[in-house]
Chain A
Amino acid sequence: MVDGKIVIDDVSYAYGGDWILRNVTLHVPPNAVTVFFGPAGGGKTTLLRLINRLNDLVEDTEMSGRILLDGKDIYDRRVNVPNLRRRVGMVFALPLPIPGTIRENVLYGPKLAGMNNPDQLGDILERSLMQAALWDEVKDRLDSPATALSGGQQQRLCIARSLSLEPEVLLLDEPTSGLDPISTRKVEESLYELKQNYTIILVPHSVQQAARVADYAAFFLMGELVEYRPGVDIFVAPRDKRTEDYVTGRFG
């Protein structure tokens, strides 16, 4: 496959002596939705958290291999990690608004980055909430507590919060796992818009969702990358027996 926005090159990763990822090599193309799917414990979330170095926060780990963003090793000693995380945004499985108002949530990242021009911040607030399809619902109560929003709104707020930094890559870890079908559809629809400008990696919460949104799909099983191909093919005509078992629901 062609050189990607992100290149995962022979990555293995252990936590507390157990290998969670084994020799994964994978190129993620720009401006597309790539899904990492497979049964729980396959290493998808771990790989996601390696791409913006969130796993740095965890102790007792071991890693080999390289991860390149635009051809540069993100684990290089000279990399400024906070800046890397601004370029690679993340949305978590559960909506996690930080304590405070809607406005404070969206502007948390930009303010930490040193932005303090009120006009600029106002623009960021509106743009981010629009992109996350939340603006119309909250524009009149930007200063009310974020926890007063519904679960679906909170998750879109978290997407807006990540978008406020204009990241180049957006990592979404089962972003719809806690949501109702209508909110799920809204989030999935916003992905179509977002992929025009961003490179998106999504861990879906079901095979169905994977099939609905994937431009490229990677199947992970017990820390190994089993199969990686452009989207529809992997679901219609899987090459590997294990992939077939999983997508047809025969996986035990």
Chain B
Amino acid sequence: MINRMGMQKAGFVLLGATTLVVVIPILLVIGYIIYEGMEALSWQFIRAAPFDGMKQGGIFPAIVGTLLLTLGTALVAIPIGVGGTVYLAEYARDTWLTRCIRLAIINLAGIPSIVYGLFGLGMFVLFLKMGTSIMAGALTLAIMTLPVIISTAEEALRAVPTEFRTVSASLGGTRWQGIRYIILPQALPGIITGIILGLLRAAGETAPILFTVAAFFLPHLPQSPFDQTMALPYHLYVISTQVPGMPDSIKYGTALVLLALVLSMNIAASIIRSYFRRRRQW
């Protein structure tokens, strides 16, 4: 008996140790980039455009570019994502066509980001003649973001008890009225969480924007959706691989700004989720 319990104890220690091997590097990466990046961080670094072959100055155009791309992605992905979710969760019956939709969503989630880049190049940049532009990049990112939004938001809609739909119908509500006045308001926090998770993925991706928007170096800000722009992830890639003699501090600083943007979105999503989970009445 002691032997069996001893073995269990040893086993649990092994499992715990493995978990540490997984978790500690995560903390190390984040901690290291924060530690090294803080040095480069200054108001000037955030507000200024780069100059002297990007070896000096700041990353302002890249920050603005990423924010604009994320905004553009949101404008496209939110209506399609939420609409698609409402269809799947509230309207779709279990038919082979519905299964095709689910299969499509699972596959969209699995398609490599670089393949999205190829698609964006082929369809938006060349075929629809948008050129390398914020428009083309945002559309590409939006399609990539859809599965994240849909799967999270669908979970939120399904968590709303069926009985509310029945009650609404029994009071003369049409299906849409029930969705509009009861289901969507109740699922809103979950939907918002899904949207943020999707957008943070879009904000951090590099491969899909490589050939659809990203400018190597562009000291001024984009003037229209048909302009190119710099973007944080691409900028980090460029300065750490393509520019010899780049000072390390600028690389760390850029990595930190990107990481901070993405992590703060992540934290916002968790807070919304847990806050509303505690508050809801069912």
- On whether A and B touch (CB less than 8 Å), the answer reads yes
Q: Would you give 16 A-B contacts (Cβ < 8 Å), ordered by A?
A: A57-B165, A82-B172, A82-B174, A85-B171, A85-B172, A89-B170, A92-B163, A96-B163, A96-B167, A99-B164, A99-B182, A99-B280, A99-B281, A108-B173, A112-B168, A112-B177
A-B pairs with lowest CB-CB distance, top 4: A109-B171, A86-B172, A90-B170, A82-B172
By DSSP majority rule, is chain B's interface helix, strand, loop, or mixed? helix
Specify which chain A residues have a CB less than 8 angstroms from the CB of B93 in the assembled complex. 59
Across the interface, do B173 and A96 meet the contact criterion of CB distance under 8 Å? Answer: no
Specify which chain B residues have a CB less than 8 angstroms from the CB of A112 in the assembled complex. 168, 171-174, 177, 181
Q: How far is the CA of A108 from the CA of B177 in the complex (A)?
A: 10
Indicate if A40 sits at the interface (CB-CB under 8 A).
no
Specify which chain B residues have a CB less than 8 angstroms from the CB of A109 in the assembled complex. 171-173
A82 and B173 in contact, given A99-B182, A99-B282, A147-B281 (Cβ under 8 angstroms): yes
B182 nearest in chain A by CB position: A98
B165 nearest in chain A by CB position: A57
Indicate if B186 sits at the interface (CB-CB under 8 A).
yes
The smallest C-beta distance from B79 to any residue of chain A, in angstroms, reads 24
Q: Mark A135-176, 1 if CB is under 8 A from B, else 0.
A: 000000000010100000000000001100100000000000
Specify which chain A residues have a CB less than 8 angstroms from the CB of B281 in the assembled complex. 99, 145, 147
Indicate if B56 sits at the interface (CB-CB under 8 A).
no
Within 8 A of B (CB), among A79-107: 82-83, 85-86, 89-90, 92, 94, 96, 98-99
Known: A52-B170, A59-B93, A59-B94. 5 other contacts (CB 8 A): A90-B170, A96-B167, A99-B282, A112-B174, A147-B281
Interface size class of A (residues with CB under 8 A): 20 to 34
A88 nearest in chain B by CB position: B170
Indicate if B169 sits at the interface (CB-CB under 8 A).
yes
Of the listed residues B93, B173, B185, the one surrounded by the most CB atoms of chain A closer than 10 A to its CB is: B173
Specify which chain A residues have a CB less than 8 angstroms from the CB of B173 in the assembled complex. 82, 108-109, 112
Indicate if B274 sits at the interface (CB-CB under 8 A).
no
Indicate if A63 sits at the interface (CB-CB under 8 A).
no
Across the interface, do B171 and A161 meet the contact criterion of CB distance under 8 Å? Answer: yes
Indicate if A113 sits at the interface (CB-CB under 8 A).
yes
Specify which chain A residues have a CB less than 8 angstroms from the CB of B264 in the assembled complex. none
Specify which chain B residues have a CB less than 8 angstroms from the CB of A52 in the assembled complex. 170
Indicate if A54 sits at the interface (CB-CB under 8 A).
yes
Specify which chain B residues have a CB less than 8 angstroms from the CB of A161 in the assembled complex. 171
Q: Mark A45-59, 1 if CB is under 8 A from B, else 0.
A: 000000010100101
Taking a contact as CB atoms closer than 8 A, the residue among B165, B167, B177, B181 that contacts A92 in the complex is B167
The smallest C-beta distance from A178 to any residue of chain B, in angstroms, reads 13
Specify which chain A residues have a CB less than 8 angstroms from the CB of B94 in the assembled complex. 59
Q: Mark B240-282, 1 if CB is under 8 A from A, else 0.
A: 0000000000000000000000000000000000000000111
Specify which chain B residues have a CB less than 8 angstroms from the CB of A162 in the assembled complex. 170-171
Specify which chain B residues have a CB less than 8 angstroms from the CB of A113 in the assembled complex. 172
Specify which chain A residues have a CB less than 8 angstroms from the CB of B164 in the assembled complex. 96, 98-99
Q: How far is the CA of A99 from the CA of B164 in the complex (A)?
A: 9
Q: How far is the CA of A90 from the CA of B280 in the complex (A)?
A: 25
Taking a contact as CB atoms closer than 8 A, the residue among B169, B171, B177, B181 that contacts A57 in the complex is B169
Q: How far is the CA of A147 from the CA of B281 in the complex (A)?
A: 7
Specify which chain B residues have a CB less than 8 angstroms from the CB of A57 in the assembled complex. 165-166, 169
Specify which chain A residues have a CB less than 8 angstroms from the CB of B182 in the assembled complex. 98-99
Specify which chain A residues have a CB less than 8 angstroms from the CB of B163 in the assembled complex. 92, 94, 96
The smallest C-beta distance from B31 to any residue of chain A, in angstroms, reads 42
Across the interface, do A98 and B167 meet the contact criterion of CB distance under 8 Å? Answer: yes
A165 and B172 in contact, given A59-B93, A96-B163, A112-B181 (Cβ under 8 angstroms): yes
Specify which chain B residues have a CB less than 8 angstroms from the CB of A92 in the assembled complex. 163, 166-167, 170
Q: How far is the CA of A7 from the CA of B174 in the complex (A)?
A: 25
Q: How far is the CA of A250 from the CA of B2 in the complex (A)?
A: 57
Specify which chain B residues have a CB less than 8 angstroms from the CB of A98 in the assembled complex. 164, 167-168, 182
Q: How far is the CA of A109 from the CA of B163 in the complex (A)?
A: 16
Specify which chain B residues have a CB less than 8 angstroms from the CB of A82 in the assembled complex. 169, 172-174
